[in-house]
């Protein structure tokens, strides 16, 4: 059964600062995921807090919002067969010390917080996260 999905992806400020945007985009393209939209943004604190609202009760929430606003990040919409899980497989585990070898987090994360990338965790999350950053006119199916 074909399940074409979309995922929000973010190259977080730590990875942008390290200069590995291109390497991460290459992995996305080599995996056969299509990039339908892309924008470099520098989030304000309220924008990061809104994006991560599901985590607002967590002990790391304030620190996470500060981290996400420390510099620009690259937001993207990815599309493909089973795209949500495939992108998370490329990312690796949240904690880079537990991430499988050759995953993006194993290769580029600096800490459990500064872990290089974000990916939607379900179709329901993707449906909220994609329009948080992109209007329909900015998404280019092909
Ligand atoms: P994921 O990004 O893998 O979906 P979560 O949704 O659980 O992970 O957490 C969102 C983000 O919050 C993580 O990517 C990471 O940047 C940060 N984070 C998660 N857990 C911790 C933690 N224990 N300490 C600090 N930051 C954390
Ligand atoms: Mg998550």
Taking the complete model, does pTM exceed 0.85, yes or no?
yes
From 49, 65, 113, 118, the mutation candidate for ligand 1 (largest count of ligand atoms within 8 A of CB) is 113
Angle of CA points 111, 12, 14, to nearest 5°: 50
User: Ligand 2 centroid vs 1 CA: distance in angstroms?
Assistant: 26
Q: What is the pLDDT of residue 18?
A: 98
| Residue-level pLDDT, tens digit, the chain, 142 residues | 789 999 999 999 999 999 999 999 999 999 999 999 999 999 999 999 999 999 999 999 999 999 999 999 999 999 999 999 999 999 999 999 999 999 999 999 999 999 999 999 999 999 999 999 999 999 999 9
In whole angstroms, give the CA distance from residue 132 to residue 74: 14
Q: What is the pLDDT of residue 102?
A: 98
SS3 of 61-124 = HHHHHHHHCCCCEEEEEEEEECHHHHHHHHHCCCCCCCCCCCCHHHHHCCCCCCCCEEECCCHH
Pocket of ligand 1 (CB under 6 A): 55, 60, 64, 94, 112-113, 115, 118, 121
Ligand closest to CA 87: 1
Q: What is the pLDDT of residue 1?
A: 73
Q: What is the pLDDT of residue 118?
A: 99
Q: What is the pLDDT of residue 2?
A: 83
Catalytic residues: 118
């Amino acid at each position: 059964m074909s399940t074409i999905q979309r995922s929000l992806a973010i190259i977080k400020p730590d990875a942008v600062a390290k200069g590995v945007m291109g390497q991460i985009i290459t992995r996305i393209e080599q995996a056969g995921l299509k990039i339908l939209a892309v924008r470099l943004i520098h989030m304000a604190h309220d924008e990061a807090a809104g994006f991560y609202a599901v985590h607002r009760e967590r002990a790391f929430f304030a620190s996470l919002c500060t981290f996400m606003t420390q510099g620009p990040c690259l937001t993207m919409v990815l599309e493909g067969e089973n795209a949500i899980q495939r992108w998370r497989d490329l990312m690796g585990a949240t904690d880079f010390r537990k991430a499988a070898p050759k995953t993006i987090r194993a290769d580029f994360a600096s800490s459990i917080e500064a872990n290089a990338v974000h990916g939607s965790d379900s179709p329901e999350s993707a449906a909220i996260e994609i329009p948080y950053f992109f209007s329909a006119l900015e998404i280019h199916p092909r």
